[in-house]
Amino acid sequence: MIAPDPRDVDVVELVIPARPEIVSVARLVVGAAVAMDPTFDEERSADLRLAASEACTNAIEAQLARRNAADADKPIVLRCELGPESIVLTVQDHGGGFDPDSLPDRPEVTDPARLDHEGGLGIPLIRLLSDELEFRPTPGGTTVVMTFGPDPVSGRIDG
């Protein structure tokens, strides 16, 4: 994908403490940002809000697990870049980082057998909802980069 001209990108950034009760604020901010782009309908906006919520929740949980680490109280940064053809959400944490390839094998999100497994839905849901997903190691944590076009991806869960 070719990077858009920075002059064609609107950026909304939210810096939040690593507290679960703040995730609803992140969803609201992403919803308001997505509403600025008329090519994204309400259904696609819901995809972005859910992905942002899951990524922020994972970031918060990772940071809370490191309560005694020097950077455990650093904020989480949610960034929403509205480009001419896509919206890129990034969530940066200080949770110590992780290897996405080391996640346990579980049934697909759409498989009824998934109901037998507690937790671990965040990253599979984000993969399902986004057009592109990337995990970038950063000093002391991870940055999750999610790219969304206005049209839902083919693997979308229909209500």
* Structure confidence by residue, pLDDT tens digits, 1-45: 555 555 678 999 999 999 999 999 999 999 999 999 999 999 999
Laid out side by side, the sheet with 10-16 consists of: 10-16, 76-82, 87-92, 141-148, 132-138
Structural domain containing residue 48? 11-148
Q: What is the pLDDT of residue 36?
A: 94
In a domain, 67, yes or no: yes
Q: What is the pLDDT of residue 124?
A: 85
In a domain, 135, yes or no: yes
Split into its structural domains, the chain has a count of 1
In a domain, 2, yes or no: no
For residue 29, give the CATH number of its domain: 3.30.565.10
Q: For the chain, which residues score pLDDT lower than 50?
A: 155, 159
In a domain, 40, yes or no: yes
